[in-house]
Structure 1
Amino acid sequence: MAGCSETVVENPVTPDSGTDGGKVKGDAAPPDDDDDTDEPLCYKEDPVDVSEVPYKAGNVVPGACKSTIEKTIKDFIDNNKQGTWDDLKAEISSKESAACASCVFSKDTDAKWAPIVQVESGAASINVGGCIGVVSKSDACGEAAFKWDLCLNAVCKDCEQGSTCGQDAQGTACKAASEEFGKECGNNAQSYLNACGNLFKAIAVQCSGEPDAGDGN
């Protein structure tokens, strides 16, 4: 997830994950014959192996959070540009409930993972794979989605918003992870991304009891 090594909430908590808005690679547009300039890539095409990265299935606590959770998080980001993940968790606990905060956050050592997973240092990452595992009813699909997302965010971390890295890297640096994602999630991969492609959707599925896989929204 974008900013997975950050303790600042501003960048990671965005409406979309860093995987080009959460899109599975499609057919690329043909090159422009009039464009002879070769701009340097913002990422490396060397294969990235994420197969051994740990993963745990998504934790689900229906009704733990109310519909106001999205506003609480967005307001916190707007008013606390240097807020940490711990600060956000405290804000959710105060404004929503302790149960909601416990559903939204988990430690990487927990048996199951929440939409936000923290490590001992306090850094955290957004876990869309857990949500995808829930809506697909397949932990294997969720794990493949998690590693696909992790790979693309790591590879594209230095690229500017709007770059094609999220698409292009699926055929180069993250080809293996992309193929595994397609194999485990099948033809419904895009609908699962539509349902879980950002933090707020993951919270809705795992903590509010509002799964919406396949609706395309």
Structure 2
Amino acid sequence: MSERYPDITRDDAGVVLVNEWNVGTRDRQRAGADAVARLWRAEPLPEHALSLNLYVSDDGTSVLAYKQWTDLDAYREFARTARSAQAGEVAPGITRHEPTAYRLYRHGLGEQGAVPGSIVVVQFETRNETAARTLVDTLFDVYGDEEPGKGAIGSHFHIAVDGSRMLNYAEFVDAASHEALITTETSGSRRLTSVLAEVEGITPLGFRRYTLHTAVAR
């Protein structure tokens, strides 16, 4: 077991499964996260699972699971055989449901050697994989040469296997580093709205900031 933030770029992770539960209150968030953590720790990792990572949002409303597997077929076989035993509600607001499957597409790095203490998950709905790739590539074209904000460790852009979503898993030293970034207007932040308007077939879904609750890895 490990309580460290996962290595998002590990070479053996062929697919990432993401679940997000909106639980509404901090009490339900804590109860739900603790219940999921107990389930994960009760048994060994499935054969092709590499890491299971659970996060709680700083605003107290959400729980997020980020799971790295070797490949999608292995996960689907596990889900098929284990589904009956795993059905039902884990805790109020935490009901098992099919995760969104992603693959890491591109990533950019900031402070080398820094240890994550907070992550920000930014999501877009995308018309298809082409739109998702265009969005990520455009962001790199516009911002790739700029210095990352202080405390920014890495941005990891994932595209859903079915092309319906783009998810940026952004690592920061702490929540204050991200807060400073979004509250300080820069030339880059002023350009973002116009940059996004140029990409067809995308809908911004906003962001949410999380802290690691539980991590189990091999």
Provide the TM-score with structure 1 as the length reference.
0.29
More helix by share: 1
